[in-house]
Each structure stands twice: as C-alpha cells, then as structure tokens.
Amino acid sequence: MREKEGMYEDNKDGKIVLDKRDFKALSSDIRVEILKKLDSGCKTLRKLSDELNLPKSTVHENLAILVESGFVEKRNEDSKWVYYELTEKGRSVLHPHEKVKIILLLSSAVLSYAGGVMEIYLFIQRTHPEEGVKGVPFHPEHLILGIVFVIIGTILLYSGLRKKAQSIVQAG
C-alpha cells in the first residue's frame, strides 16, 4: 500500500507498506491512541483532547504528524469546526486483515451455495430416476444437506456483505 498524490493505494498482495516517516508517526503511544480514538468516527481537536485527557496543543502537534504521514485526514465542513478522521491507510494499520475476512466470508458463501445446489440436484435425481432404472433408493439426506448448505450460504453472504458495507461507510 502506498501513498500517491494524497491517495492510498493497495498492493496487489495486500501487504501494508510503511516507510520511515510512517514508522516515526506510529512510534508514539499518543499518536497510536489518537488513531484508536478516531477508529470510532471523526472527531474534533477538542473532543480528542478531552477523551485523551491531554492538552489541545499536544494533541494538535501529534495530529499534524499523523496528517502529514497520511494516517489521518483533516476535514473542514461547512461549519466552523475542523474534524479529523482516519484515512484508508490509517484503518488498514488498525485492521490489517479486514479485507481478508470479507473475501473469506464471501468465498465460503459461494461454496456453500454451490454445495447446497449440488445436494438438492442429487436428491432430485434420486427421487426422479431415468426411465428403466428400478429400485433406486430414496435419500432425503441430500435434500436436508442441500437446504442446510443454502441456509449457511445465505448467512455467510449476509455477514460478508454487511462487513463490506460497514468498511465502505467507514472509508467514506
């Protein structure tokens, strides 16, 4: 992951790439605590100062370093307040495996659906055999397994899409 023209770019292999400036920014306990506080949403300097029980000047100095290194973004909205929020780079440092979890959930959902459809297909084939085949046993376990796999797939798909939506909301 690299910072390029103010944008944060993912590596294809999903690794977090930090340079010397990033390590310096993360070497302070105060700055790490600021990142953790901002993980719950954007906050003003005063709110961070109150939550950390630190002087505003100390928090401001540390926020400036985090903004410069690309972990935090300063937002001036239409109001007189200045808000600070995590960038994608800041979120990926706090939650490095979030994308992997989402991919695994969605992949598991697809596999579960495929297994469920296959089991239901096997059940249908067994209950309606081709003409001329006599004495084919009835196997309800294929139907039961198929339904269970489809239900599990639905739950996994819902969980994966919900996590993905939450990560998009946090990013934007």
DSSP string, the chain: -EEETTEEE--TT------HHHHHHHT-HHHHHHHHHHTTS-EEHHHHHHHHT--HHHHHHHHHHHHHHTSEEEEE-SSS-EEEEE-HHHHHHH-TTHHHHHHHHHHHHHHHHHHHHHHHHHHHHHHSPPTT---PPP-HHHHHHHHHHHHHHHHHHHHHHHHHHHHHHHH-
What share of the chain has pLDDT > 90, as a percent? 17
Domain region containing 74? 2-94
Domain final residue pick, 94, 122, 148: 94
Domain shared by 10 and 84, yes or no: yes
- Whether 50 shows a pLDDT value over 90: the answer reads yes
| Count of domains for the chain | 2
Tens digit of each residue's pLDDT (9 = 90 or more) over 83-129: 999 988 888 888 777 666 677 777 778 888 788 888 888 888 776 65
Domain shared by 89 and 106, yes or no: no
The whole model's pTM is what?
A: 0.54
Domain shared by 88 and 7, yes or no: yes
Domain shared by 82 and 140, yes or no: no
